[in-house]
Amino acid sequence: METPVTHKSFRGLLTAEDRRVVRNWRRGVVIVYGALALIVLGLASLSHYFANGSKGQAATAVTSAAADKNQPQR
């Protein structure tokens, strides 16, 4: 039979140096995952921008051409 696992907090057993190391690791992990999230969001917005960018430019060109036809000729 397996022995039951006890869930204890080991925070009280850590020395000041151990807590500093854990805090620095935690900070590093948050920075890395935060940077990755920003990169993913940036790439998603750039791909969205470039996907709609060509449509927006074409629509502007069509609108400009239609507006030019409605202008009176001198």
How far is it, in rounded angstroms, from Cα 22 to Cα 60?
55
* pTM as predicted: 0.52
pLDDT in tens, 17-73: 999 999 999 999 999 999 999 999 999 988 887 777 655 555 555 556 555 565 666
Are the beta carbons of 14 and 22 closer than 8 angstroms?
yes
> Is it the case that residue 2 has pLDDT exceeding 70?
yes
Q: Which is more confidently placed, 33 or 8?
A: 33
pLDDT over threshold 90, residue 8: no
CB contact burial 2-40 (16+ within 10 A = b; e otherwise) = eeeeeeeeeeeeeeeeeeeeeeeeeeeeeeeeeeeeeee
Q: Domain ranges in the chain?
A: 15-68
